[in-house]
Structure 1
């Protein structure tokens, strides 16, 4: 996992936990929106990391 993917995973988890700790009802709050954005960026970083690191001719 790349450093950017790890960072987005941590941000996703932190914003999700923050949303759960402050939200009393199930409304869309700013931490929940940030959690969705960071989650999407995490998936994109994983996909980009696989494409950049894939090299069939290493020798």
Structure 2
């Protein structure tokens, strides 16, 4: 996992916990929106951080 993916994961978790701590009823709040954005960035960072090895055998 890259540093940017780990950072996005931590930010997503913190904003999700903040939403759960502040809101008692089910409502869309700014921390919940931030949690979704950071979770999406986490997935993109994981995809971008993959090292795909392509070694074709040319004969």
Please classify the TM superposition score into its range, dividing by the shorter chain length.
Answer: 0.7 to 0.9
TM-score (norm 2): 0.87
- Specify every segment of 5 or more residues in structure 1 that has no aligned partner in the other structure, as ranges: none
Backbone CA RMSD of aligned residues: 1.0
Looking at structure 1, the residues matched to 52 and 31 of structure 2 have their Cα atoms a distance apart, in angstroms, of 34
- Specify every segment of 5 or more residues in structure 2 that has no aligned partner in the other structure, as ranges: none
Q: Which consecutive segments of 4 or more residues in structure 1 shift more than 2 A?
A: 53-57
Q: What is the total number of aligned residue pairs between the two structures?
A: 55
Report the equivalent of 2:44: 44
Structure with bigger gyration radius: 2
Higher helix share: 1
Looking at structure 2, the residues matched to 56 and 36 of structure 1 have their Cα atoms a distance apart, in angstroms, of 33
